[in-house]
Chains A and B, each alone.
Chain A
Amino acid sequence: MSGPNAGKRHEITTYVIGYVAALVLTGAAFGAVHWHWFADTTTTLAVVFGLALVQIIVHFRFFLHISFSRSARDDLQLILFSTLIVALMVGGTIVILLNLRARMM
């Protein structure tokens, strides 16, 4: 069982798994907000953000075919470096500006 035909079936399966997983995660996030599954808004927000993070990983894995073991090294290093930059700049922005807001209020 190898060659292009088995490869094709495997690729279609990959996209279907990604699509179904993304649908479930999206449904869970919207459901949690719409039907107020959690009494506490902080918990709901944490759940929504957590589901978004999982869904982003699902998209990377099943639609962009990125994984730790199989990806070309350059691609993976670029993603990890971009993630580092994003974490520093987004984290820094939020910490500094929210601190400034708290002091000005």
Chain B
Amino acid sequence: MSANEVKHAGLNLGDTDEVTHEQAGEGIFGFWVFLMSDAIVFALLFATYGVMLPGTAGGPTPASEYDMKSAFIETLLLLTSSFTFGLASIAMKHELGRVRLQFWLGITLLLGLAFLGFELHDFASMFSDGAYGSRSGYLSSFFGLVPLHGLHVFFGSLWIVVMMVQVSWFGLDARVKINLLRLGLFWHFLDIVWVGIFSVVYLQGLI
């Protein structure tokens, strides 16, 4: 069995830590199954949103509620956080020092929190326009889809904090490394869902 063999999605540890790499395959595959089932949940919420879009019931419409600048800033924040998580994964894999790993995890966390701040600000301004979930079918489906993604980002941020604590308490043992690989998959996956949200929800509403 070659050390460089690709055993699972995401960054593989084969060429730097063969022992962890041997253990990673199964554990990561289980998490990958969860991510794909989560993807199906999101896909169906997208379908619901698409069907509900004309159902504004005389209330607020997408064009009146969405703010393109804010959506663009949120996109850049989340995309950059995905990139900085990649740099954290590389620091973990090649053992470039715990300080560097913690630094990139910290930057990713700050970008994630900034994203949540902008998103909450968006929701607050929608509420102040009377655009809340029970107003129309369109708004129900909006508040089913977009805040669910925000909730994922929130728990992802919490998970980053947990991993920063684990790295400083336990060091980089096999368990911590595999947890970091899973968190990486989760974080990159959230960015993929956001690509769908900014295209299907925000840009479609603003055309």
Against A, the Cβ 8 Å flags (1 = close, 0 = not) of B65-106 are 000100010011001101100110010011000000000000
Q: Is the CB of A48 within 8 A of B199?
A: yes
Contact with B200, one of A7, A34, A52 (Cβ below 8 angstroms): A52
Q: Is the CB of A11 within 8 A of B47?
A: no
**Chain A residues whose C-beta falls within 8 Å of the C-beta of B33 in the assembled complex:** 78
Q: Is the CB of A8 within 8 A of B191?
A: no
Tell me the count of chain B residues lying within 8 A, CB to CB, of chain A. 52
A53–B113 Cα distance when bound, in Å, is: 26
Q: Is the CB of B199 within 8 A of A29?
A: yes
A49–B195 Cα distance when bound, in Å, is: 10
Instruction: List residues of A (74-105) whose CB comes within 8 Å of B's CBs.
Output: 74-75, 78-79, 82, 85-86, 89-90, 93-94, 97-98, 101
Instruction: Verify if B64 is at the interface (C-beta below 8 Å from A).
Output: no
Determine the interface band of chain A, counting residues with CB < 8 A from chain B. 35 or more
**Chain B residues whose C-beta falls within 8 Å of the C-beta of A72 in the assembled complex:** 6-9, 25, 29
Contact with B43, one of A8, A16, A89, A101 (Cβ below 8 angstroms): A89
| Chain A residue nearest to B46 in the complex (CB) | A90
**Chain B residues whose C-beta falls within 8 Å of the C-beta of A51 in the assembled complex:** 199
Q: Interface on chain A toward B: helix, strand, loop, or mixed SS?
A: helix
Interface locus among B11-19, B158-166, B169-177: B11-19
Interface locus among B48-56, B115-123, B147-155: B48-56
Give chain B nearest CB distance to A69 CB in angstroms: 10
**Chain B residues whose C-beta falls within 8 Å of the C-beta of A60 in the assembled complex:** 192
Q: Is the CB of A63 within 8 A of B82?
A: yes
Q: Is the CB of A15 within 8 A of B12?
A: no
**Chain A residues whose C-beta falls within 8 Å of the C-beta of B109 in the assembled complex:** none
| Chain A residue nearest to B51 in the complex (CB) | A97
Residues A90 and B8 in contact in the complex (CB < 8 Å), given A33-B207, A78-B33: no
Residues A33 and B68 in contact in the complex (CB < 8 Å), given A52-B199, A75-B29, A101-B54: yes
> A15-B86, A52-B196 given. 6 additional CB < 8 A pairs?
A23-B76, A30-B75, A49-B200, A59-B192, A72-B6, A89-B44
What 6 pairs between A and B have smallest CB-CB spacing? A52-B199, A15-B86, A82-B36, A93-B47, A19-B83, A86-B43
